[in-house]
Structure 1
Amino acid sequence: MSHYYDRNPEVQSDRKTFVYSYKDHKLNLTTDAGVFSKGKIDFGSDLLIRTFLKNHTPGPTKKIVDVGCGYGPIGLMLAQVAPYDHITLLDVNQRALELAKSNAVSNQLDNVDVKYSDGLGVIEENSCDVILTNPPIRAGKHVVHSILEDAHTKLKQEGELLVVIQKKQGMPSAKKKMQAVFGNVEVLDKSKGYYILKSSKG
């Protein structure tokens, strides 16, 4: 059986394109079978984007990493809203990476890099300002928690990790893990069972 966190999904291609909007920003996004949330943005990713952007002020260029980017809705919307920032999109799914690259091109976003990476493996230590993730819950708790742990080493001082996770799909244990790793965690927002958790590297 093929999963969205597989490197090469075996399901037959079935591409669909839709428009994703945030305020007056619009993205044309192409999705496909074998990638997460085909055909429309999932509620959790949308909540993560809106919560982050509500708290994100223009300023010096920030290096932002979207882990488990799928076809790119989180990272690409941030790239459009904040053209002064640089966004790196990471995934293991080759089909998702191809879509994220083509979606970046079709939306004329040049402040974006799309890379194959198992978790945060390709990111240098102490190199980024923000890490965002809608983690691959179905890949297992060990995968999710390894991303949370690794985020601490990859972030600069004062850097922030933002995670969206459903209460019924491991939010309490993720929150506990973030508290243990970072020494702090807060709930920025919650809606329909989804929580936006934030930890800062002090």
Structure 2
Amino acid sequence: MAGHYFDESPERKSEQRVVTAQLRGKRMSFYSDHGVFSKSGVDYGTRMLLDVYQFPETEGDILDIGCGYGPIGLTLAAETTRIVWMTDVNERALNLAGLNTEKAGLFNTRIMKSNLFEALGEEKFASVIANPPVRAGKETVHALFEGAYDHLLSKGTFWTVLQKKQGAPSAKEKLETLFDSVDIEARKKGYYIFCAKKN
């Protein structure tokens, strides 16, 4: 069995490569590898999510949960003096995120291993952003939504992307049971970008 990008230790032999992408108007490059999400390049959903993301008005750190090799967290860290936390359960992805942080010369990131929010304790964030691991199943995605709400500061925002065929409408319904407001910030090619706000 080849394994999944949400496994702790990918079985596939490592074979690093460099991928480049234009993200939020800036050319970014990242080390990628087998056994991580979107290894061949930054996927459309992530690009779209980054394009429309807005930093929160409230002060506080940012959390990129399920960071993979780091395209979301590092792109945002390059734009802000806030601390950007980057977590993943996949050890290879975390190693790559560390390499990519060094490559980008960034010093405002915290990279740590965590299965969803397990290792984050009582930490609270001004914003949580995620391209969720839909292949891990609806239960995992909904647990991510619940954890995001619990780990947001008052007035905090949760940003996420889902395809219609991956259950975007039912995801919106779930978000509406948790958050005080849920907006569709963009919709294109079957992808939905949601911003959920906590009062």
TM-score (norm 1): 0.93
Q: Distance in 2 between matches of 1:173 and 1:49?
A: 22
Residue type of the partner of 1:36?
F
Count of aligned residue pairs for this structure pair: 198
Residue type of the partner of 1:56?
F
Q: Indicate yes or no: 2:170 matched with 1:173.
A: yes
Q: Distance in 2 between matches of 1:103 and 1:156?
A: 28
Measured at CA, do residues 85 and 6 of structure 1 come closer, stay the same or move farther in structure 2, by a change above 3 Å? same
Decide whether the 8 Å contact of 2:16 with 2:33 is kept in 1: yes
TM-aligned CA deviation for residue 13 of structure 1: 1.3
2:39: which partner in 1?
Answer: 38
Q: How does 1:94-109 map to 2 (within 5 A)?
A: 94-109=91-106
Q: Distance in 2 between matches of 1:56 and 1:100?
A: 21
Measured at CA, do residues 62 and 135 of structure 1 come closer, stay the same or move farther in structure 2, by a change above 3 Å? same
1:93: which partner in 2?
Answer: 90
Q: Distance in 2 between matches of 1:148 and 1:22?
A: 25
Q: Indicate yes or no: 2:77 matched with 1:76.
A: no
1:56: which partner in 2?
Answer: 55
TM-aligned CA deviation for residue 11 of structure 1: 0.7
Structure 1 gaps, min length 5: none
Residue aligned with 2:177, SS: helix
TM-aligned CA deviation for residue 61 of structure 1: 5.2
Residue aligned with 2:86, SS: strand
Measured at CA, do residues 198 and 23 of structure 1 come closer, stay the same or move farther in structure 2, by a change above 3 Å? closer
Q: 1:159 aligns with which of 153, 156, 159?
A: 156
2:30: which partner in 1?
Answer: 29
Residue type of the partner of 1:100?
A
Q: Distance in 1 between matches of 2:40 and 2:92?
A: 14
Cα RMSD after superposing both structures: 1.6
Decide whether the 8 Å contact of 1:66 with 1:90 is kept in 2: yes
Q: Distance in 2 between matches of 1:123 and 1:23?
A: 28
Measured at CA, do residues 132 and 23 of structure 1 come closer, stay the same or move farther in structure 2, by a change above 3 Å? closer
- Report % sequence identity: 37
Decide whether the 8 Å contact of 2:58 with 2:155 is kept in 1: no
TM-score (norm 2): 0.94
1:190: which partner in 2?
Answer: 187
Residue type of the partner of 1:116?
K
Q: Which 10-residue stretch deviates more, 181-190 or 145-154?
A: 181-190
